[in-house]
Structure 1
Amino acid sequence: MGNKNSRSKHERSLIKNIQEFNQIESDQERHEKFLGYYFSTSTDSIDRFHVFHFLRQYIFQSNFSSPVEENLIRGGYKVLDVGCGPGTWLLDLSSKYESSYFFGVDSELMFPQEIKPNNVEFFKADVSAGLLFGDNEFDFTHIELMRLIYTSDKWDFILSELIRVTKPGGYIEVADRRNENVERAPILRKLMDTINESGLKRNVDINLIYSLESKFELHPNIGNVHQIEKKIIVGLNSDKIGLVSRELALAFLKSEPILIKFLSEELGVSEEEYKKLIEKDLVEEFEQVYSESIYVRIWAQKQLT
């Protein structure tokens, strides 16, 4: 009975959201509305976040690339994750480094609010409006997969906030996907280009990862900037990680009703044609041609003086 009522409530909410989406008049408003569903807070979406976290952990063989592990093990180290989503990254670290402290902020209430480890705290906040923490408060500050969320004019401020709250001698790490010079099969490329174009219409820098090094270097108290890339082969002849990545991509592209509506309209096809494109044509493409997915980590140390 309880599950049925809960599902009915969810369906009513979803119908209301679709009705609101249909009423949007301008392209700018429509793309801004779409952003709210790009990282959905549904249970299925949160499950994908969890799987995606462990996929990235596997390909890098670590949760971070900054040289901070010895300090985390020693304890008393304070870590901030900006745009923490459901908190998977922090929860994973908190169980491995029980003597250190972990803090997450996100503009959506996706993270655990009651049941969580004693060394983890979450806050609802939007970094683009400024972080609620004081100067020089964290030893390690981390932000990941936020390229499509914030507009170009916000990123200089966001980086300055990450640097501001990091202690001298601490590290700032930014991770995301690479967009250019990535081998993609035709259907997947069209879908990814459509999503990226929606970002351009909102003044999002889809190639942000390429300019991060220079953005870091504009700050006088930032030392050498380091970068590492890892590639996943998705589709034909891919390994198990490639298969997981493929299933995540398919689940994302066919999961959210509003995402389906948005992409079908952008592609100029019906929703039924879009579903066939994902469930049949894209699946077949993955079996015949390979695509790449490339992840990048960039990190730097805040100088002592």
Structure 2
Amino acid sequence: MGNKNSRLKHKKSTIKKIPEFDQIESEQERQDKLLDYYLSTDINSIDRLHMYHFLKRYLFRGNFSSPIEDELIKGGSKVLDIGCGPGTWLLDLANKYENSYFFGVDFKPIFPREIKPNNLEFIEADVTDALSFHDNEFDFTHIEHMSLVLTSDQWDVVIPELVSLLIYCTYIFYGVTKPGGYIEVSDRRNSYVGEGPIFRKMSDALWASCSKRNIDTNLIYNLDSKFELQPNIGKIHRIEKDLIIGPNGGKIGLIFQDLAFSYYISEMAIKNLSEEMGISEEEYKNMTEKDLVEEFKQTSTECVHFRFWAQKQLS
């Protein structure tokens, strides 16, 4: 990625191909299969995640909102990204802050295994299991866009784990003592404002599909309150940024529209959402590729992204 410390590992890729959608034999296998599609490893999905990263960086004017940059520049800090996906966020940071150390965890190995900076390590692991790190190890722990992946019960496991991983330390910088590490959650609201009937119907189908995987799509609205219940967590800080989907939202609106279309016309969406809506795949594709495009021209559908962060206090 341009870092002078990049290294090349000559290893055969271990990324697994996704089996055919109709090879489902049980309800449990169906739910596992749906999750596979939500966390797809195909190249279009990975490209979409890369582009989405840069859109959010532009929207928030930075990769994070926690006041941790001085420590990253100074060096020696350790950063953990939970559910890192293709690793775009970490690659961006590892190249910028070459004297700090970055770790990404995901149970889908779509992160780069061959070319990456020396200060970045990716680990294949399930975040709902106990992570193989020491308690109080990280200066900054980050988790992004997991609201449609983790169930409410899984969040109850993950949140205490994230809190326990934050390091206990004291820095002296510009004469000010800064105790503790930071945890930051980034996501978007699972609802829209001002959407048209077509996009509303498609979104409702998506939320209904998520609920079948025991996903609480409303949890994201009070997730920060779950963190407040954890011991040694300081004040929760929150920032929100909104955008208009489509041409009425300018260039960023058109980019997000392209990302949305890329998702909604994916194989997973066509098969799963058309079934959820009770229409044929052909009807679904026509509605998405023709009617939805025209609807976005007539509406100002608002999508809200947010970040919240807090510092782990010294006990």
- Structure 2 residue runs of 5 or longer lacking an equivalent are 1-14, 169-179
What's the secondary structure of 1:127's corresponding residue? coil
Contact kept, 8 Å, 1:34 with 1:259, in 2: the verdict is no
Is 1:17 matched up with 2:27? no
In the alignment, the residues of structure 1 paired with residue 231 and residue 261 of structure 2 have an alpha-carbon distance, to the nearest angstrom, of: 43
SS at match of 2:238: strand
**Residues 201-220 of structure 1 aligned to structure 2 (within 5 Å):** 201-220=212-231
| 1:180 CA displacement | 4.2
- The partner residue of 1:237 within 232, 248, 255 is 248
CA distance in 1 between counterparts of 2:195 and 2:165 reads 38
Query: Is residue 271 of structure 1 aligned with residue 274 of structure 2?
Result: no
Matches within 5 A, 1:100-115: 100-115=100-115
The share of aligned pairs that are identical, in percent, is: 58
Q: Secondary structure at the match of 2:40?
A: coil
Q: Aligned AA for 2:22?
A: Q
Counterpart of 2:40 in structure 1 is 40
Once the two structures are superposed, what CA deviation does each residue of 1:275-301 show, in whole Å capped at 9, x if it has no partner? Answer: 101110111111111211111111110
CA distance in 2, matches of 1:31, 1:298: 30
Q: Which residue of 2 aligns with 1:71?
A: 71
Match of 1:179 in 2: 190
The residue aligned with 2:271 is 261
Matched-pair contact (CA < 8 Å) for 1:236–1:289: no
Structure 1 contact 180–207 (Cα < 8 Å) conserved: no
Aligned length: 289
Compute the displacement of 1:165 (Å): 0.8
Mapping 1:1-305, distance limit 5 Å: 16-20=19-23, 23-26=24-27, 29-168=29-168, 169-180=180-191, 182-255=193-266, 257-305=267-315
Which residue identity lines up with residue 252 of structure 1 in the other structure? Y
Q: CA deviation at 1:260?
A: 1.0
CA shift digits 1:154-175 (9 cap, x unpaired): 1111000101111130000011
| Separation (CA, whole Å) in 2 of partners of 1:249 and 1:237 | 15
For the residues of structure 1 that align with 2:289 and 2:190, how far apart are their CA atoms? 24
Residue 213 of structure 1 and its aligned partner are, at CA, apart by: 2.1
Give the TM-score normalised by the residue count of structure 2: 0.88
1: distance between equivalents of 2:194 and 2:234? Answer: 33
Cα deviation digits, residues 38-87 of structure 1 (max 9, x gap): 12111111111110000000000010011001111111110000000000
> CA contact under 8 A between 1:236 and 1:288: conserved in structure 2?
no
Distance 1:76 1:197 in 2: 45
CA contact (8 A) 1:184 1:291 kept: yes
CA distance in 1, matches of 2:263, 2:310: 32
The question of whether the paired residues in 2 share the 8 Å contact of 1:105 and 1:124 is answered with yes
- What is the Cα deviation at residue 187 of structure 1? 1.3
> RMSD across aligned C-alpha pairs, in angstroms?
1.6
Q: Tell whether the 8 Å contact from 1:106 to 1:125 is kept in structure 2 after alignment.
A: yes
Structure 1: unaligned runs, 5 residues or longer: 1-9
Letter in 1 for 2:275: E
